[in-house]
Every structure is written in structure tokens, then in C-alpha cells.
């Protein structure tokens, strides 16, 4: 219902950011923008927690071979280093990129292709009892082990190849498509 009212009201004047379609001085829209900003401010720490946890595992435990420490039990220096580096990267991206259209396109493409076409076959291959050409100590004894591995892993491998090709093509399309110029806010000159 809202969509039809919106299309009837704005037709070709609508902009990708819906809040830019309204007058800047409208008190209701100012309130909506304030609520939106407060929502974004409160979600950033949640995003930081996830990224900080992954970086802690990846950098500190895997690469530096430091003892495993959860995010809640890590030293304050490591906590601050990881948090400030995440914040610096996020701030750098927002200062350098004038239009978030490119950033959202890249992150959406990476997330969608990875979730739909890359992670499922990788998980299937990881839990498979067969290893490629039966290299490994914990394999089943079959008469022709490579035949079983090819039959079982053929579909996931093809889907993985398709996912990687789709990823490369989507990145190429995003990078080669010109970014549209930012549109001015309605009601301003």
C-alpha cells in the first residue's frame, strides 16, 4: 500500500535515499532522520563486536600464535588496538568514498554470491568423506576411490566454480559501471 502511495506522490522525482525526497525543514522528517541516526549509532558497536572477534581469532590466535583469548577476556591493549583499527578503516572508507552506492554494491555482491554459491559447496566438500584423489589418512577403502570422490564432489565443485565465476563477473560489472552522480536534496538549491 505504501509503495503505491509513494509512486503516485513522487513518480520520477524519487531518489534512492527515501529521506531525501522530503523537505529538509519538515519536523517529522527531521525526527525520522534522528531516529535513523540513533539506530545506526547503536548498531555500530554490535558490528564491531563481530569483526573484533573474528580479527582476534584470525590475527592473534592463528597468525601470531598467541594463546586463545575470548573477546571478553582479552587484554585492554589488544581490545583497543582491534577496535580502533576497525574504526579507522570504517572512517577511512566513509571519508574517501563520496557515494556509498559503490560500497553497498560491492558488499552486497560479495555477501550474496558467497552465501548462495560459495559457502554451500565448500561446506559440502569439507564434510565429505572423500578427499580429492584419496590423499589423506582417514579415507574409506574403496575399489576405485577416485571414482567415488568425483561422483560425490562433482556437483559441489561445479557449483563452486560457477560461484567464483559469478563473483568475478559481478565485481567486473560493478567496477566498470559508472557511478551515478549524487542527486541534490529536494527543497534545497
Q: Taking a C-beta distance cutoff of 8 angstroms, is the pair 148, 130 a contact?
A: yes
pLDDT above 50 for 189: no
pLDDT above 80 for 72: no
Band (163; pLDDT cuts 50, 70, 90): very high
Q: Which residues contact 132 (CB under 8 A, 6 or more apart)?
A: 149, 153
Question: 96 phi and psi, to 5 degrees?
Answer: -85, -40
Which runs of consecutive H residues, i.e. helices, occur in 97-141? 100-113, 119-127
Cβ count near 156 (within 10 Å): 17
Query: For position 105, what pLDDT does the model report?
Result: 85
pLDDT above 50 for 142: no
Amino acid at each position: 500500500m505504501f509503495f503505491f502511495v509513494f509512486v503516485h506522490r513522487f513518480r520520477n522525482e524519487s531518489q534512492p535515499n527515501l529521506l531525501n525526497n522530503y523537505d529538509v525543514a519538515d519536523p517529522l522528517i527531521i525526527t525520522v532522520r534522528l531516529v535513523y541516526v540513533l539506530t545506526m549509532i547503536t548498531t555500530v558497536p554490535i558490528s564491531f563486536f563481530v569483526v573484533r572477534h573474528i580479527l582476534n581469532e584470525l590475527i592473534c590466535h592463528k597468525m601470531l600464535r598467541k594463546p586463545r583469548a575470548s573477546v571478553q577476556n582479552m587484554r585492554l591493549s589488544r581490545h583497543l588496538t582491534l577496535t580502533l583499527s576497525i574504526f579507522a578503516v570504517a572512517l577511512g572508507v566513509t571519508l574517501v568514498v563520496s557515494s556509498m552506492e559503490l560500497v553497498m554494491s560491492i558488499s552486497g555482491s560479495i555477501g550474496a554470491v558467497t552465501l548462495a554459491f560459495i559457502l554451500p559447496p565448500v561446506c559440502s566438500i569439507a564434510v565429505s568423506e572423500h578427499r580429492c584423489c584419496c590423499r589423506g589418512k582417514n579415507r574409506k577403502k574403496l575399489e576405485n576411490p577416485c571414482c567415488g570422490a568425483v561422483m560425490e564432489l562433482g556437483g559441489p565443485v561445479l557449483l563452486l566454480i560457477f560461484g567464483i565465476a559469478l563473483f568475478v563477473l559481478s565485481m567486473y560489472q560493478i567496477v566498470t559501471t559508472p557511478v551515478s552522480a549524487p542527486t541534490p536534496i529536494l527543497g534545497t538549491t
